[in-house]
């Protein structure tokens, strides 16, 4: 990308982005989070994703009671179909 465009004045520079990422890393080290791989259950197994096997749901729970669920699937070392 070319930084000569006037629109780039609205974007953070590399140093600002690096500082922001470092602040996120520091914050992530302070957060206590429990994870649990959930067993296969009655949910839509593949969420219409048919090109990979080995998916699993993951539960993330913070001590404060906030719970977040994620869908994990393996990645292959070949291009997607």
Which is more confidently placed, 13 or 55?
13
* pLDDT bracket for residue 16 (50, 70, 90): very high
* Residue-range domain boundaries for the chain: 32-81
pLDDT at 76 over 60: yes
pLDDT of residue 9: 86
pTM of the predicted model as reported, rounded to 2 decimal places: 0.51
3-state SS track over 34-74: EEEECCCCCCCCCCCCCCCCCCEEEEEEECCCCEEEEEECC
pLDDT at 5 over 60: yes
* pLDDT bracket for residue 42 (50, 70, 90): low
């Amino acid at each position: 990308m070319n930084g000569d465009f006037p629109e780039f004045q609205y974007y953070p520079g590399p140093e600002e982005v690096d500082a922001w990422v470092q602040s996120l890393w520091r914050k992530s080290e302070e957060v206590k989070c429990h994870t649990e791989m959930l067993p296969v259950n009655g949910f839509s197994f593949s969420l219409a994703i048919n090109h990979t096997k080995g998916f699993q749901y993951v539960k993330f729970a913070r001590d404060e009671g906030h719970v977040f669920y994620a869908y994990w699937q393996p990645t292959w070392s070949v291009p997607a179909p």
